[in-house]
Structure 1
């Protein structure tokens, strides 16, 4: 097993914190697990922020040779759980295959005061 922690070029760089955006775990059989740090995005509405987050996640996965289709687990943090349907409708635009395992939490606030949603994912890439 080989573990690489990275902040891929072109991806949003961590602001005001010390962490890696991606943990890449390469297995002996050639499969790869990707653990992505929680992502937030700019936008006025929850839908705009959610789209921005999924676009960032898609770019981070692509930098590792993966895609949203490889996501096996998703954890979502919302500041207003009553907007779950709004979040869910955008999520379904991006995650179109078999649904990954999932957890959604309501939290009082996130890293940035304007953030309404933060999402972290785990993806698995299995060799053909």
Structure 2
């Protein structure tokens, strides 16, 4: 099994050096699992931040040969759980196929005091897609 930790150049870079944005796990039989770090985005409200996060997640996945259709697990952290309908409407525009496994939490705050939402995902990339990806770090 091969594991590559990465923060690809084509996506917004981490806020600090404490984490990688993607962990690519390539089992011996082919394919890969991508574990993305939690992502936040600037924005005036929950919908705008949610759109920004999904755009970043999409860029990170594409850098490793995956798409949002490959997401198998999503964890969402909201600072106000009453925002689920607003977040859900945005999420439905990005995750259009069979829904992934999911957990949603209300938290008192996130590392960035302006952040209303943080999302982390796991994606399963079929064998042959994303092979030859050159990590940035």
**TM-score category (smaller protein):** over 0.9
- CA RMSD between the two structures: 1.0
Q: Distance in 2 between matches of 1:30 and 1:69?
A: 19
Aligned ranges 1:1-128 → 2 under 5 Å = 1-127=1-127
Moved over 4 A (4+): none
Q: How many residues align?
A: 128
Q: Which moved more, 1:65-74 or 1:23-32?
A: 23-32
Unaligned runs of 5+ in 2: 129-137
Deviations 1:46-78 (A, max 9, x none): 000000000000000000000000000000000
Instruction: Work out which structure has the larger RCO, using CA pairs closer than 8 Å and 6 or more positions apart in sequence.
Output: 2
3-state SS of paired residue (1:88): helix
- Runs (5+) with no aligned partner, structure 1: none
